[in-house]
Structure 1
Amino acid sequence: MARFDPLAVIKRGLKALRKEFSTNKNETPLSTQTIGPAKPNISKRADSTKNVKTQKEPHGTPNTMVDKQTRATTPKPLSAHLMPATLLVLYLDEQQASLTDASILHGYRGQEVELDVKRFRDYYVSQIEGYTSNFVERYGVIKVHYQRRKAAAVWLLAKDIDQQNLLAKPEFVHGKLNTPYSLVAPSFANYRLMQANGPVTGHFLERQQFVTYLYRQKLWQDVDESLRLLKVTDFIKCISEPHGQELKMTLAKNTLWQVYKSVRTTDGILWYCLGGNTWVKNSQHTQLMERKQYLNEVKQTQQVTKSYAVSLNVSAKIDFIPGKKVTLYDLPCGKKTAQLNDGKKVQLSAHKNINGMQWYHVTDSGWLLAEYLKFK
């Protein structure tokens, strides 16, 4: 479609008016600058005024009134020029570098500006500088500023698969959004890598990602996490870990303990974990029992008369590892029912002696061995 030109339209209109007045009405052609009334024909006026005496007007000639009327009815020249205007649109990143070619908008002063804000992957609009809703100046510049979307960090964790403790502080890997990454497992003395959980390779995203490397001590050859029971036939000292330091804790003679994990080290020694950092070494005074076998024995003891359970109303305090929780059971060596913090004051309501093991019932909690209680 051809562009609209107001000046050409005005010129065509003046030309049509000039033609009409000059041919049809035998009048003088119009000027392209002004538009006014046509002058009467002199010959015709002479014929019509032969017998008419010219009357002298006071303060002027006979044509004075006509001239004044002509000047009064003559309109001012028309001005219909539209001023063109141009806007340059720039698309800039944080370093003021162009993300794409600039756009050029054309129009006329006063005309509405139709700004198309472009979108770029990994960027968002942070500011529009020099924006105007209408064309104002002959030349103008609009700057659309963009900022890159930030990617979230990838967490790298290294843990002991058996003890579940961190081997080092978490490491944070950073990069630009949607750029690729590839992680390398860290190395630790006396540990070997067992497995990795999480996306070890991928792309940085707007959400956090987690990768956990699991290690096992090189000294640990075999690990069995089956729940069993350990019967102790003599007093045995506890240690912090296999080949670890001796603890100030001794297992009583003829007592039964739950084993959460059994570990055989590379030197062939078998170790039993009684929970947390409490371990005992296998010896001639330890006897490993299957849990099912013992629970059957316990079940039989539950069917005896109530006289075997002594009712109590005694106060005591949990005596376990500082900062840790001890586990209570629904029956002696039964299912877990609750956990209580070390040092918590409790009320005991019953006592049972099962195969030399002293069990106490903690009110509203469960059964607990006497070794984990401190009486006032």
Structure 2
Amino acid sequence: MALMDWVKRLITPRVTSRPTPAHRAATQDQPPVMDTQPPRKPTVASTPTAPAPVAPVTPRPTPTVTTQAKPEATLVIRLVDTHDRPLQPALVLTGRLGETVHLTFPTIAGYVLLRMDGMTQTFLNEYGLTTLIYQRQWGQPITTYLIDYDSGQLLALPRLQRDVLGATFQFTPPAVDGYHIFRAQGDQYGTYTTHPQRLLYFYRRDAWQTVQRVEQYVTLTTDHAVYDLPAGQAYGYQFPAQSLWRLFAIITLTDQSVWYNLGGNQWLSAQDTQRHEHRERHLEIPRVTQLTGQDVQLTGTVDYIPHGTVMIYREPYGEIAGQLANGELLEIRRRVVDDQQLRWYQIGPAAYINARYVRLAKQL
């Protein structure tokens, strides 16, 4: 029991007091007990200090910002053509009153913006309507030509016609006095596109029954008058008999008369002629045997039709040597007269021209 008591005393806080004599006597026989606990510092009891009073903080009222939202606005944009027909679904833009309207104008193929009705830069009302009117683009023009098929000359000024892109067209040959339509080249019906188009109408004279393109030659058996057209107006001069000419066309008129084209606006009647397929077969041309000549020193000019040319020969009634333009200057070396009193002028070593196509200069 002594051990247990010692343990209790060890773990039980001791109260320091003066020992009594009885106690000292009781403990004299006990061995001394070593106190292994470190000495404790005396605890000084302190009186807690109360915190200083803090003045209460009165919360400040938070200012209330009142934002009045603007009413919403709607703008409907219609896309129509000039006949008020819709081209695309309408556009619907939303925002708030006073805000800027942000719009990119739509591009519609084949149309251009013509005008705007009711367009605003800001939303002015809760509900608004704007109309964008588009106009159909213009197509490229169609040019019509009226052409004499046989001469290649224009019978009238070209006609220019134009309409909007995609519009349809249908043409008929215009009537031309003294002509009938012979053929057409180009589309006579279709639509106007982004590319220009051309329409050619070829006409032939009503009096021309048949036309033959040839490369032949003809020998005149008599003197022949020269005309501007088959059965047309005579020029006032003649081509001599036994002369050889190249043919480019043979025309048969409705009265069955036949005419030869010698190039350009020179025409001969087929009467009193001999036609040849190849010139080489008829190189020997009958010659005039009685020629008288006289040396001269004259000057002159070619007197022919305006802008025309006249042929010259290596010798009178001989082989063609070339051509001279109307108004060209001439130096005449010799004058030759045949037995029919037709005159020729020698203008070079081997160059002769019929005197009827020469205007002599006044001699001083």
Among residues 143, 147, 164, which one is paired with 1:155 in the alignment?
Answer: 143
Q: Describe the shift of the 1:157–1:148 C-alpha distance in structure 2 as closer, same or farther (beyond 3 A).
A: same
**Is contact 1:313–1:347 with CA below 8 Å preserved after alignment?**
no
CA distance in 2, matches of 1:330, 1:253: 15
Alignment pair present for 1:317 and 2:305? no
Q: What's the offset of the Cα at 1:103?
A: 1.6
Q: 1:372 to 1:110 in 2, by over 3 A?
A: farther
User: CA shift at 1:252, angstroms?
Assistant: 3.2
Name the aligned partner's letter for residue 194 of structure 1: F
Q: Tell me which structure has the larger Cα radius of gyration.
A: 2
| 2:146 and 2:155 in contact (8 A); partners too | yes
User: Do structure 1's residue 265 and structure 2's residue 260 form an aligned pair?
Assistant: no
* Correspondence for 1:115: 103
Task: Report sequence identity in percent.
Answer: 23
CA gap of 1:315–1:136, structure 2 versus 1, over 3 A, is farther
1:301-316 aligned within 5 A? 315-316=299-300
Using the size of structure 1 for normalisation, the TM-score is: 0.59
CA distance in 1, matches of 2:324, 2:126: 80
Q: Distance in 1 between matches of 2:250 and 2:53?
A: 140
Deviation, structure 1 residue 266? 3.9
- The C-alpha deviation readout for 1:201-242, integer Å capped at 9, x for no partner, is 221224442222222234333322224443334322223322
Q: Which string of whole-angstrom CA distances, capped at 9 and with x for unpartnered residues, describes residues 306-365 of structure 1?
A: xxxxxx99753232223x33277999647x8x884x4x3435599999xx9969779xxx
Q: What does residue 346 of structure 1 align with?
A: 329
Instruction: Report if aligned partners of 1:257, 1:274 keep a CA contact under 8 Å in 2.
Output: yes
- Equivalent residues in 2 for 1:225-244 (5 A)? 225-244=213-232
Contact 2:110 2:137 in 1 (8 A): yes
Amino acid in the other structure paired with 1:346: L
SS at match of 1:99: strand
SS, match of residue 214 in structure 2: coil
Structure 2: 5+ residue stretches without partners: 1-51, 286-295, 337-341
Tell me the amino acid that sits aligned with residue 274 of structure 1. L
Q: CA deviation at 1:76?
A: 4.7
Question: Structure 1, unaligned stretches of length 5 or more?
Answer: 1-46, 53-62, 299-311
* Corresponding residue for residue 6 of structure 1: none
Deviations 1:150-190 (A, max 9, x none): 23443333332113334455555554422332322345565
Q: What TM-score does the superposition give when structure 2 sets the normalisation length? A: 0.60
How many residue pairs are counted as aligned between the two chains?
A: 292
Q: CA deviation at 1:105?
A: 0.7
Listed one character per residue, the Cα deviations across residues 224-278 of structure 1 (whole Å, up to 9, x for unaligned) are 2224443334322223322233332222344343433221234443211233333
* 1:282 aligned residue: 270
Distance 1:368 1:111 in 2: 96
Amino acid at match of 2:304: F
CA contact (8 A) 1:255 1:357 kept: no
* Other structure's SS at 2:65 match: coil
| Amino acid aligned to 2:269 | K
Distance 1:227 1:84 in 2: 89
Structure 1 residue 80: deviation in Å? 6.8
**Partner-residue secondary structure (3-state), 2:280:** helix
CA pair 112-228 structure 1, distance change in 2 beyond 3 A:
same
In structure 2, distance between residues paired with 1:100 and 1:110: 27
| Alignment CA distance shift 1:201-1:276 (3 Å) | same
CA pair 359-208 structure 1, distance change in 2 beyond 3 A: farther
| Secondary structure, counterpart of 1:184 in structure 2 | coil
Q: Does 1:102 align with 2:90?
A: yes
Query: Is 1:249–2:233 an aligned residue pair?
Result: no
* Candidates 186, 192, 209, aligned match of 1:198: 186
